[in-house]
Amino acid sequence: MINFNYETDFKLDSEEQISTWITDTVSSEAYKLEEINYVFCDDEYLHKLNVEFLNHDTLTDIISFDYSVGKIIQGDIFISIERVGDNAKDFNVSFEEELKRVIIHGVLHYCGYKDKTDDDVKLMREKENHYLSQLD
């Protein structure tokens, strides 16, 4: 089950399509989806979580809390709509493309992909691009 929660005025246009896409991605990676809760918020909301839970005093676009057990995916993904908008401008892509990239980025972390090393980042981008192409 995928739940979308909003702590800001933003609202996804196509919750059902996005849910199906996420579920298909998880299946393609040979995992089983139990539950993912997305929380769309602003910078202030996410910054508080970043400081409180991760001890990072910085702005970020996404924080994911992974409660998965083995191949059963469960977690909470918090996304700052403000950061996504700023990053879209910085990367010269549409807001929608950047948002979808961030949405699937969190799921890929739950599927075991990392982004700490250059090789990890390269593989993560390849996977993001692959699954973004599945949504079109």
| Helix, strand, or coil (residue 78) | strand
Determine whether domain 2-135 maps to CATH 3.10.20.600.
no
- Each residue's pLDDT tens digit, 34-49: 999 999 999 999 999 9
Q: How far is CA 16 from CA 13, 22, 44, 64, 86, in A?
A: 9, 10, 28, 21, 26
Binding residues for Zn(2+): 105, 109, 115
Residues in the chain: 136
Q: What is the pLDDT of residues 49-102, one digit of tens each?
A: 989 898 889 889 999 999 999 999 999 999 999 999 999 999 999 999 999 999
Q: Please choose, from the candidates 7, 107, 109, the residue with its C-alpha nearest in 3D space to the C-alpha of residue 48.
A: 7
Q: What is the DSSP letter of 7?
A: S
Q: Where are the alpha helices (DSSP H) in the chain?
A: 15-28, 43-54, 81-91, 95-110, 118-135
Q: Which sequence spans correspond to the domains of the chain?
A: 2-135
Binding residue ranges: 105, 109, 115
CB 33 within 8 A of CB 111: no
